[in-house]
Homo-oligomer: A and B are copies of this chain.
């Protein structure tokens, strides 16, 4: 076990630091010797209580606890004992991965307060919107008070500026009381460049593999049993202590493991054994991630599909820069809808290599989106989709993905047409790092605004200036999805020059990407449209439709 274990007033402090010959615990100003075992754990049991601060005095320097539960003063300061007690009221809630509708949010910018309490104040709104799960961008302690969270360095500590561990528990409790699941974004591929005290303590990091963002965990070399345990116990920790329902694993393509059993397979097993689910961010278009073990996969429940996003974005915006150079045709969208991966063994010009492999799984194995923190935030101006295309196109994009067989994920604010940007922001303290990030973001992302400035962070906060028409459409689309759709891959797609018809179960969905004339040989009643050119009653015939979408309930059912 990692971190302080509290039981019956006693606390067992434990540090995995095989590089250190001697470690002492410094607790409330006193020091205590710790015993080292053959695997490199240093341990001592003492009387201690909630609120007590501690560090470890090692022969390699004084360090906070890498498995600290709370860092009230941030990544460079003392660790603090927290209470495991919490008045949970969510007995009635059961986590479920069925028919998820996810809402991705960043705690710091979602509300004015920028805290878990701020999120709580909007739970009724989210519940009313109809989503079934919140997905929190990483909350593991990262440097400073502002950040996306992917530079976290304490896997077990909840960000102090968000409200710490008790704040997160309150949020989960309140979400569960409203029937909302909570998915946590966890970063097991690297740790941030500032505040990483683990590196001097033991072989936490790989010497074989490199990521673009920093050191990656050592999952397959000397000491890797402990590193794997560090991560697997972290999964259990979030479930057991915080009642987290599911996980979003950041960038699994940067998790390297040549062990006979991949750490991703083990993470999925740990989550499943507790009735929870796991979603992977994967850039590999590799069926192995989500295939079950019988199909030689890791058994992860779902993965993000950038191909869908890129297809829709490139087609609607006309952008062809960067990864969008591989997309832009309407047939990319239809291939994404039917085959999931647009690149399933095709040569990608952007990547300069053949990419992907075909996959064939139900829609519940995939999460799609028309925006997410990366797609918005990695643009130079942090522009949301609503700022790039007209509202008609925006409505089309929304309907396309919310009515698809996949799990849809809304990026906070998208549902009402938020126009504030979502920029990259940070709050490092190391001047060199600050300069490096500034330069890197300018050079690689074209972000002119200073990531380190509080202004950049503040300007990324949601305004909640609601476009009621968009919000109503989102709500109605979610209702229709819940009532009529599922994850079965029975979608039929008819593609025209600049229109598309999707048929699934009893629904017929018409998308006019421009003003179009579309022939239909079906009957149906209009459930929802984004403009009045879509007739209330559909009969066989040709229709002149204005740019937009219409959803019909057909009389012929799923044999249409």
For A354, list chain B residues within 8 Å (CB): 225
A483 interface residue (CB < 8 Å to B):
no
Flag if B357 contacts A222 (CB, 8 Å): no
| Residues in A398-441 with C-beta less than 8 Å from chain B | none
A195 at the interface (CB under 8 A from B): no
Q: Which residues of chain A from 274 to 298 have a CB within 8 Å of any chain B CB?
A: 284-288, 296
A352 lies within 8 A of chain B by Cβ? yes
Which parts of A335-394 form the interface with B (CB within 8 Å)? 347, 351-354, 356-357
B286 touches A356 (CB 8 A): no
Answer whether A356 and B260 are a contact pair too, CB < 8 Å, given A347-B225, A351-B222. Answer: yes
One of B285, B296, B353 near A296 (C-beta < 8 A): B296
Residues of B with C-beta under 8 A to A261: 357
How many copies make up the complex?
2
Among A155-163, A204-212, A464-472, which stretch is in contact with chain B? A204-212
Task: Name which residue of chain B comes closest to A208, CB basis.
Answer: B210
The closest CB in chain B to the CB of A287 belongs to B260
Q: Is A496 an interface residue (CB 8 A)?
A: no
Report Cα–Cα, A220/B271, bound state, in Å. Answer: 30
Hey, what's the 0/1 contact readout for A486-509 against B, CB within 8 Å counting as 1? 000000000000000000000000
Does the CB pair A225–B260 fall under 8 Å? Answer: no
How does the 8 Å CB contact mask read for A194-221 relative to B, with 1 for contact and 0 for none?
0000000000000111110000000011
CA distance A356 to B208 in the complex (A): 19
- Establish whether residues B260 and A353, one from each chain, have CB atoms under 8 Å apart when the complex forms: no
Query: Least Cβ distance of A214 to chain B in Å?
Result: 13
Q: What's the Cα separation between A449 and B319 when bound, in Å?
A: 64
Query: With a CB–CB cut-off of 8 A, which chain B residues contact A296?
Result: 296
Question: Which among A208, A210, A357 has the greatest number of chain B C-beta atoms within 10 A?
Answer: A208
Q: Give the size category of A's interface with B.
A: 20 to 34
In the assembly, what is the distance between CA of A224 and CA of B259, in Å?
Answer: 23
Partner of A352, one of B209, B222, B253, B256: B222
Does chain B have a CB within 8 A of A30? no
Contact residues in B for A260 (Cβ distance below 8 Å): 284-288, 356-357
Q: How far is the CB of A138 from chain B (nearest CB, A)?
A: 23
A203 (CB) vs chain B CBs: closest residue: B352
Q: Does A559 contact B (CB under 8 A)?
A: no
Is A167's CB within 8 Å of the partner chain B?
A: no
* Minimum Cβ distance to chain B for residue A172 (Å): 33
**Given B207, B258, B286, B353, which contacts A221 in the complex, CB threshold below 8 Å?**
B353
Min Cβ gap A223→B in Å is 6
Residues of B with C-beta under 8 A to A223: 352-353
Smallest Cβ distance from A303 to chain B, in angstroms?
A: 13
- Residues on A facing B (Cβ under 8 Å): 207-211, 220-225, 253, 256, 258-261, 284-288, 296, 347, 351-354, 356-357
By Cβ-Cβ distance, the 10 closest A-B pairs, closest first, are: A296-B296, A260-B357, A222-B352, A260-B286, A224-B353, A225-B353, A225-B354, A208-B210, A223-B352, A222-B353
Given contacts A253-B258, A256-B258, A260-B356, 20 further A-B contacts (CB under 8 A): A207-B210, A209-B209, A209-B210, A209-B256, A210-B210, A220-B353, A222-B351, A222-B352, A222-B353, A223-B352, A223-B353, A225-B347, A225-B353, A256-B256, A259-B286, A260-B285, A260-B286, A260-B287, A260-B357, A296-B296
